[in-house]
Every structure is written in C-alpha cells, then in structure tokens.
Structure 1
Amino acid sequence: MVDQGGAARPARVVHEVPYRAQWESAELVRDIVDGQLDAARDPRWGQSGAATPEEYAWWSWRLCGVACLRMALEHWWGVTPTAMALAGECVAAGAYVRDGESLRGLVHAPFAEYVRRRWGLAARAAELTPAEVAAEVTDGRLVMVSVHPSIREPHGPEPVRRGGHLVLAVGATETALLIHNPSGFPGESQAFARVPWRSFGPFYAGRGVVLGPPGAER
C-alpha cells in the first residue's frame, strides 16, 4: 500500500513493548479521566514514588511523556524507574518547566538530550509526517507522538486542536498505527490500540520524539 505522500506503508510491524499508564492503576484510568475517581484515591499511588497522594494526583495528569519513557526503558533496558524519579530528572534537564501550579512540557529537544545522556538511548526531537512515523517504527524505533488526548476514542468527533498529549507508537500496519496510550481506557485503547491512518491526522500535531535502542546512530 502507498499513502497519499507516496511512501509505502509496512504490511505489519509490531514491537512487543510493555505497557504503562500514566496512573499507577491502569484499570482505573477511565474512572479518573471521567471524573468519577480522584487520582489521589488511586490505591497504588505510592508506587509512583510520590511523597503524598496529593503530589501524585497533581503530577499524574502530566505524566504521559514519562509513561512513554518508562515503556521504552523497560523494553530496551529492562528497568522501570518510578514515574516521580523520572519526572524529577526531566525537571532538572529542562524538559519540564514548573512555575507554581503550572507546568510547561514535555519540551521535546531537552527531553531527547536527557534521554541520550542519562539512558544511552538514541533520541531526537523531530517533525514527522504520518508516513515518516510509520517508517521509523518499521526500522525498529519507537516514536512518542504528540496527539490530542481524545485519540483514546478515534472514531468519535474530531478534536478542536491537535497535540497536547504523548502516546508511544509501537507498531504499524497498512491501515493503522498501533499505539500505547498512557491515558487510554482499559480494554479499549491502552495497549496496542489501533488508530486508523485515515483518522490519525486530525489528532496529530506533526511532531514527536524518535527513540532508538542503545548504540543506535539515530
């Protein structure tokens, strides 16, 4: 199959990457996102490394990029640092910029530099077409792509804007991109969630972070 940009898409490539949600209790994500459960009441909040449930709740809504990194580290290194340990390192690296109760980030360029320096993975911030995302995945890399969070329901209404949330592209087929969505709903849109190429564009901001295995050139 050839897409509209003239690039061939893979028949099927899927990387067996472990899944991590941005909340410690992946099975409770729908309840938290829908407002039925305060994130501070997540029974596994302590596993995040946060000092209090309130600290965990504040950060948990902002940890999509950290969740993607945790998945990549477990995939390639077999390690899973706590979410708060990685968040603290990202703040120190300038990938998160905190100002009181506001947080800017994940900022892609300093984040990629941090991943290269701290974890020895290939990493680069990039603007990518959907066909280029597919090509990176086909060549053995993972891509953190910036999408609207409503991508958890790709067959719903088109979002009013693009970007604002990070998911990890872990596979590609002729008809769809396969993602691990840190805020996906259990049993529906968390691990290896299928987003049809025809639906992907309205969610996708056209940029992301390409991650490669240790020792890779890119």
Structure 2
Amino acid sequence: MTSMIIHQVPYYSQWESADLVPRFITGTSATTDPLWQKSGADTADEYAFWAPRVCGMACLRMTLDWLGHDVPPMVPLVREALTAGAYVQVGDHVKGLIYAPFTTWAARRFGLHARSRPDLPADDIDAEVRAGRVVLLSVHKTIRDLAAPGASPEGPPQRGGHLVLAVGTGPDGVVLHNPSGLPGRSQQFHRVTWADLDRYYAGRGVVLGPAD
C-alpha cells in the first residue's frame, strides 16, 4: 500500500436524523424521528421497523449519490430490494443483506459495477478503492465506538452483522462511512487502523463502483 486515497462520497445515515443516532441505538423508538417522512415510509412504524436494518441500503444510497445517480428514498429502495431477493422478510424477521441477489439487482437497476466478495482480504479492499470503487464491509456494529468502556482488545465475540462503506484506504488503515456511526466521531470519514478493522471485520463484503 502506498499513500492514502479518499473518495469524496456523500454520507447517509440509516436513520433520517443522523444527529439522533445515539438515541436510536440505545433504545429510543425511531417513531420519534422528526424526519421519518423523508424515508418514503407510509407510517412512522414502518420507518422504525426498517431503519435499524438498512445499513446496506444506506451504503448503496451513498454510492449512488457519489456516482451522480438519483438517490431514491430509503423505504421505497428497501421495497425494491425485497422484491429482488436482497432481503427476505418473514413476519418481523428479516434476513439480509443477501449479497448475490443484491449485486445482481444493483447492477441491473442502476448500471453499477457490483460484485459480491464472500472472501475479501484487506489487501483487496485497498486495491478496489484504488481502482476507483467503494466497498461495503461486514463488521460488528460496535466498530462505531472503538474506545467504548469495557471494549475487549480482541474485539467482539462475533464479527460481521453490520455494513459500513470503505471510502478510503492507506498504509495505516481504512476510511469508513458508517450508517449507524456516532455524530462527530464515527459517522463519516472515520479512520480505522487495519489492526482495529481486523478485530471487527468478517472478511467479506460487496464492491460497488461505476460500470465497467
């Protein structure tokens, strides 16, 4: 790896009120989000159901904006992704983001380069960013607060489960947009060392970029 490279990707939270994320991740219902109607949901309850589950859609919206595409509201985008099989909903249970149908849909729907990478080592993250793309990385959600009291030096007991967007890389680490990051700390252009990433990263993700 050589010098740092950072793509100037706009930031989107998975909640409409990015400044209120600390409330929502600690139990306050997202039905209280004063901006919920911007999501395109029919009701505040529909918005509150999906907001904690759409980190992948937030990463897609960031990518679309960066590449100059129109950016659909969050919930209509989720409905499309459900139809495409990128999410599977059974009652109140949602499985996803499911990478293969997601990349097929994203490539067809938006004309993107979209590739599922179930095995994605750190060197490949760097190579993809340097090639002019961004990368959705599967990490544990607590990567938002690396200095949290009681945080284990080995990292959480499980890795993965939450998607962040790698918008930059360099010799010292990766630069992330985190859809559930903390305002002023880890939402946008958050620098994480490669060693810290390794403690949270599941080794898989999705590469997005302009069409080949």
Q: TM-score, normalised by structure 1?
A: 0.92
Give me the whole-angstrom Cα distance separating, in 2, the residues matched to 1:117 and 1:80.
15
Give me the whole-angstrom Cα distance separating, in 2, the residues matched to 1:163 and 1:77.
29
Instruction: Structure 1 unaligned segments of length 5 or more: list them.
Output: 1-8
Residue 12 (structure 1) aligned to one of 4, 7, 10: 4
Residue 136 (structure 1) aligned to one of 114, 128, 137: 128
Alignment deviations for residues 169-188 of structure 1 (CA, whole Å, 9 cap, x no partner)? 00012111000000000000
Q: Secondary structure at the match of 1:200?
A: helix
| 2:31 paired with 1:31 | no
Q: Secondary structure at the match of 2:71?
A: coil
Tell me the residue number matched to 1:209: 206
User: By how many angstroms is 1:26 displaced?
Assistant: 0.4
Counterpart of 2:20, as a letter, is L
Tell me the residue number matched to 1:54: 45
* Correspondence list, 1:1-218, <5 A: 9-35=1-27, 37-126=28-117, 127-156=119-148, 157=151, 158-213=155-210, 215-216=211-212
User: By how many angstroms is 1:54 displaced?
Assistant: 0.6
Alignment deviations for residues 1-41 of structure 1 (CA, whole Å, 9 cap, x no partner)? xxxxxxxx231100000000000000000111122x32110
User: By how many angstroms is 1:77 displaced?
Assistant: 2.4
Give me the whole-angstrom Cα distance separating, in 1, the residues matched to 2:2 and 2:54.
30
User: By how many angstroms is 1:155 displaced?
Assistant: 3.7
Give me the whole-angstrom Cα distance separating, in 1, the residues matched to 2:71 and 2:209.
17
Q: Secondary structure at the match of 2:135?
A: strand
Please give the root-mean-square deviation of Cα atoms over the aligned residues, in Å.
0.9
Counterpart of 2:133, as a letter, is R
| Runs of 4+ residues over 2 Å off in structure 1 | none
Q: Secondary structure at the match of 1:145?
A: strand
User: By how many angstroms is 1:154 displaced?
Assistant: 2.4
Instruction: Structure 2 unaligned segments of length 5 or more: list them.
Output: none
Give me the whole-angstrom Cα distance separating, in 2, the residues matched to 1:101 and 1:78.
32
User: By how many angstroms is 1:153 displaced?
Assistant: 1.3
Give me the whole-angstrom Cα distance separating, in 1, the residues matched to 2:166 and 2:187.
12
Give me the whole-angstrom Cα distance separating, in 1, the residues matched to 2:2 and 2:91.
45
Counterpart of 2:124, as a letter, is E
Q: Secondary structure at the match of 2:167?
A: strand
Paired residues in the alignment total 206
Tell me the residue number matched to 1:3: none
Q: Secondary structure at the match of 1:202?
A: helix
Counterpart of 1:21, as a letter, is S
Between the two proteins, what is the percent identity of the paired residues? 48
Q: TM-score, normalised by structure 2?
A: 0.95
Counterpart of 1:19, as a letter, is Y
